A and B are shown apart, each in its own frame.
Chain A
Amino acid sequence: GAVVSQHPSRVICKSGTSVKIECRSLDFQATTMFWYRQFPKKSLMLMATSNEGSKATYEQGVEKDKFLINHASLTLSTLTVTSAHPEDSSFYICSARGRRAEQYFGPGTRLTVT
């Protein structure tokens, strides 16, 4: 089946630095990519929706200047956590939706900010 990859799978960074997470659809074109965040023992929460070539749409309460999303091609979206703080430590998951509305999930990226 279709595969979505995320890189890195785990990252530890110092407070104040920026971290970029990549989400790639490996064998299909993703017209839309979604970024989710999961706090410990909580459900996944949608952060933003990005369509290829256009600006991302952020959910209420998500700071667009802090979580920069770029969807430069039909196979790649990136999430950059800028000026990371310990409270940004979380599990970030992307999903990609193809032209037939099928949706596939990346394996997730665990971010720890020290």
Chain B
Amino acid sequence: KNEVEQSPQNLTAQEGEFITINCSYSVGISALHWLQQHPGGGIVSLFMLSSGKKKHGRLIATINIQEKHSSLHITASHPRDSAVYICAVLSGGGADGLTFGKGTHLIIQP
């Protein structure tokens, strides 16, 4: 079973700062998801990656398959970015559901 580790667990930063959240996994994967969960619980899928890099607005996600590592970056952070960010991986042939990291609780202070 894949082990997914996220760091940091908690992060508080000032508005405008560049944010990096890391995700490492133990077994080769077919895809990796970055999810955003707001205090009410609703989940938004930010990215699905299998290689390289993706960008959407102020969000950038990268993945290094050889190192089994992915990062989520937020540029020009804003208080509305405050949420829990979750990394989830799809292993092997994808017959199973995702394995989730424990999440990174991000607070952006004005």
Contact B43 A103, beta carbon cutoff 8 Å:
no
Judging by beta carbons under 8 Å apart, are B96 and A105 in contact? no
Q: Which of B33, B86, B98 is close to A46, meaning CB atoms less than 8 Å apart?
A: B98
Task: State whether the Cβ of A36 lies closer than 8 Å to any Cβ in chain B.
Answer: yes
Q: Are A101 and B31 in touch, CB under 8 angstroms?
A: yes
Please classify the interface of chain B as helix (H, G, I), strand (E, B), loop, or mixed, using the class held by over half of its residues: strand
In this complex, which of B35, B45, B86 has the most chain A Cβ atoms within 10 angstroms of its Cβ? B45
Do B41 and A110 touch (CB < 8 A)? yes
Task: From A42, A103, A110, give the contact of B48 (CB < 8 A).
Answer: A103
- Determine whether the beta carbon of A44 is less than 8 Å from that of B45: no
B103 touches A105 (CB 8 A): no
Interchain CB contact under 8 A, B90 and A44: no
The distance in angstroms between the C-alpha atoms of A101 and B96, with both chains bound, is 11
Task: Return the CB mask of A72-104 against B: 1 if under 8 Å, else 0.
Answer: 000000000000000000010101010001111
Number of interface residues of B (CB under 8 A): 22
Q: Is the CB of A44 within 8 A of B100?
A: yes
Q: Is A49 at the interface (CB under 8 A from chain B)?
A: yes
Give B32 Cβ to nearest chain A Cβ, in Å. 11
Q: Is A67 an interface residue (CB 8 A)?
A: no
A108 engages B42 (CB within 8 Å): yes
Q: How far is the CA of A108 from the CA of B37 in the complex (A)?
A: 10
Asked if residues B30 and A101 are in contact (CB atoms below 8 Å), the reply is yes
Q: A93 near B100 (CB under 8 angstroms)?
A: no
Whether B31 and A44, one on each chain, are in contact in the complex, defined by CB atoms closer than 8 angstroms, is no
How many angstroms between the C-alpha atoms of A45 and B35 in the bound complex? 14
> Per a CB cutoff under 8 Å, which of A45, A95, A107 touches B42?
A107
CB 8 Å contact bits of B9-30 with A (1 = contact, 0 = none)? 0000000000000000000001
Chain B contacts with A in 54-107, Cβ cutoff 8 A: 86, 88, 90, 94, 96-103
